[in-house]
Amino acid sequence: MPSVNKKSIREEFDLLKEKFKDLSDKDKVTPEVDTLFHAMIMLFELLIAVFMEKKTRKNSRNSSIPSSQTGKDKTAAGAETNGKGKEQNDVLSENTRTVETTQTAEVNDCECCGENLENIQATGHERRTKIDIIFEKVVGHVDAEIKVCPRCNMQTKGHFPENMSGPLQYGAGIKGYVVNLLVAQMVSLKRAQKMIQTLVGQVLSEATILKYVMQLHLILEPWEESSIERLLQMPAIHVDETSLRVDRKNHWIHVASAGDITLKFLHVKRGTEAIEDIGIIPRYGGVIIHDCWQSYLSYEHCSHGLCGSHLLRELTFIVDSNGYAWAANIKRMLQENCAIVAERPSKKLTEKEYKNLQKRYRNILTRGEKELPSIPPKQNGKRGKVAKSDAHNLWERLKKHEIAVLLFAKESHVSFTNNRAERDLRMSKVKQKVSGCFRTKRYAEAYCRISSYLQTMANKGYNPLVAIQMAFSGQIYADRGE
C-alpha cells in the first residue's frame, strides 16, 4: 500500500472547510445544505483522526516498551547513583575461602655486565597477579560407633549430628548454589542438575532440588510478612503487574515496591479480585504510582501518581498520527518540569511554580479541546460507549486525572515514572523465556517470594548467593527482618 501524506490530507480538508465557510458567509448555501455539510465535516474529522492513528505505526518511541530500554528516572529517590543498581558489598558466602600465595622472582645476575647481585638488597618490586578458581568438593563422614554392653549385652550406637538425618545429605553450599541457579540466574531445572553434576560429580534429583526451593520459601514467610508491614509505612509505592504462564494457564505477578523493598505475588486474576486477595493496596493510605489502570484508580482512599513514561509515549503517538498541538505542548511541558524537578535537591516545585504549572496545563487542554473533532451523540437504543479515538481518550484521561499527572512536581516522594515496578518485574519475564512455564502454582509462588527477597537484598548490596545462605542460616531475622 502506498504511503499516505498525512500533512496534505489535513491541508486539503482545512482548505475545503475554508471554501465552504466563504460560501456560507456569502449566503450561497441553503440552511439545509449548511446543516448537512456541518454534520459531514464532524464525521470526516472523526474519521480522519481515527485513520491517522491506524496508519501510524507504533514503535519503541511511541508505545509501551520494556522498562529496561527507558531512560533513568532522575526524579526518583536515590537518583544520584550511577543507574547500575546498588553496589554490592564485600561480604562473601560462608563456604568461600581465598588462598593467596606470593612468589618472588629473584635477580641473581646483572643482565648488562653479569655482576653477581645475590647479596644486593632490592630497591623495589613490580607485582603481577593471577586469579583463578579451583572447584573443591568437601566430603565429610561421621562414623557412629556401635558397642555391645558386656553387662546387659545390649547394643548402643553413637548419636549423629542434627544436620545429618539420613545416610546422605548435601550441605548449605550446595543448597544455596542450586537455589541461586534456579531463581537468581534463571537457569532451568535440567540445566541446574547438569551444572551441579559437573562440579561435584553427583546428580541431584529434581525432587531434592525442588525441596530446597520449598524450604527457602517457607523460611521466608516471616520475612515477607514483616516486609509488607514496612511497605505499608512508606509514603509512596510503585505497583504493576505482568503475566506468567503456570501449568499452561495464564496467571499474573503483582509487584509492590518502595525504598529497598520489593514484593511480588502470584494470582490467577489481574484485577480487583487479585488486589483484594493480596491485601496491600486496600490497607495502604499513601500514594500509589502506576500506569493509570482502572483497577488501581478504583481505590479512592489512596492518592495516585501516573507514570510519566507511559504518558509521554502516548503523547508521542498522538503527535505522530495527527500532529495535534495540544499533545506536543503537554509533552514538552511534562519533559521540562521533569528536568526541573530532577535537578532540585527538594525534588519538587515551589507552591507558586506548581500553581503556574496547573494553569498552563489547563490552558493547553482547553485549547486542545477545540483541535479534537466533535464526538457524535449516542444514538437512541444503542448499547455501550461511543467509540473514540486514542487522542480523545488520552485528552479526557489527562483532564480527569490532572492531580495524579502533576503529583510528581508537588510531592518530593512521588517519582515521575513507574519504572521501578516495571524493572522489578522484568526478570520474571526473562525467567519464563529462559526456563519455560512453571509446572505447578506452588513453585511459581515460591519463585515470587524468593525473587522478592533476593531483589530486596540486592537493593541493600548483597549478592544472591550470600543472601540465600543468610536466609538458610537465619541471619536475616537477627534484627527484626533486617
Residue 418 domain-assigned (yes or no): yes
Residue 469 domain-assigned (yes or no): no
Phi, psi angles (nearest 5°) of residue 121: -75, 140
Per DSSP, 133 falls in state: -
Question: Residue ranges of the alpha helices (H) in 185-324?
Answer: 189-200, 206-219, 221-232, 272-278, 294-297, 308-322
- Please, which residues have CB within 8 angstroms of residue 432's CB and are 6 or more apart in sequence? 244, 245
| pLDDT score recorded for residue 246 | 93
Q: Which domain holds residue 42?
A: 6-55
Residue 324 domain-assigned (yes or no): yes
Residue 386 domain-assigned (yes or no): no
Residue 434 domain-assigned (yes or no): yes
Q: What is the pLDDT of residues 314-362, one digit of tens each?
A: 999 888 888 889 999 999 999 999 999 999 999 999 999 999 999 999 9
Q: What is the pLDDT of residues 154-172, one digit of tens each?
A: 998 889 888 888 888 888 8
| pLDDT score recorded for residue 482 | 47
The answer to whether the beta carbons of residues 246 and 444 sit under 8 Å apart is yes
| pLDDT score recorded for residue 133 | 77
Residue 346 domain-assigned (yes or no): yes
Residue 223 domain-assigned (yes or no): no
The answer to whether the beta carbons of residues 464 and 209 sit under 8 Å apart is no
Residue 29 domain-assigned (yes or no): yes
Give the type of residue at 88. Q
As for how many domains the chain has, the answer is 2
Question: Residue ranges of the alpha helices (H) in 187-235?
Answer: 189-200, 206-219, 221-232
Q: What is the pLDDT of residues 406-421, one digit of tens each?
A: 999 999 999 999 999 9
As a dihedral over the C-alpha atoms of residue 293, residue 295, residue 298, residue 300, rounded to 10 degrees, the angle is -70
Give the type of residue at 167. P
- Please, which residues have CB within 8 angstroms of residue 472's CB and are 6 or more apart in sequence? 172, 175, 176, 215, 216, 219
Strands (E), 113-248: 146-148, 155-157, 236-246
Distance of CA 303 to the CA centre of its chain: 21
The answer to whether the beta carbons of residues 43 and 289 sit under 8 Å apart is no
Share of the chain above pLDDT 90, in %: 48
User: Quick one: pLDDT band at residue 480, thresholds 50, 70, 90?
Assistant: very low
The answer to whether the beta carbons of residues 295 and 277 sit under 8 Å apart is no
Average pLDDT over residues 442-470: 93
| pLDDT score recorded for residue 411 | 94
The answer to whether the beta carbons of residues 327 and 343 sit under 8 Å apart is no
The answer to whether the beta carbons of residues 341 and 409 sit under 8 Å apart is yes
| pLDDT score recorded for residue 481 | 45
- As a whole number of angstroms, the distance between CA 471 and CA 480 comes to 13
Q: What is the pLDDT of residues 360-409, one digit of tens each?
A: 999 999 999 888 887 767 666 667 676 778 888 999 999 999 999 999 99
Share of the chain above pLDDT 70, in %: 82
Grid cell at residue 136: 573443591
- As a whole number of angstroms, the distance between CA 155 and CA 460 comes to 54
Q: What is the pLDDT of residues 111-169, one digit of tens each?
A: 888 888 888 888 888 888 888 877 788 888 999 988 888 889 899 888 988 888 888 88
DSSP string, 95-109: T-------------B
Between 45 and 482, whose confidence is greater?
45
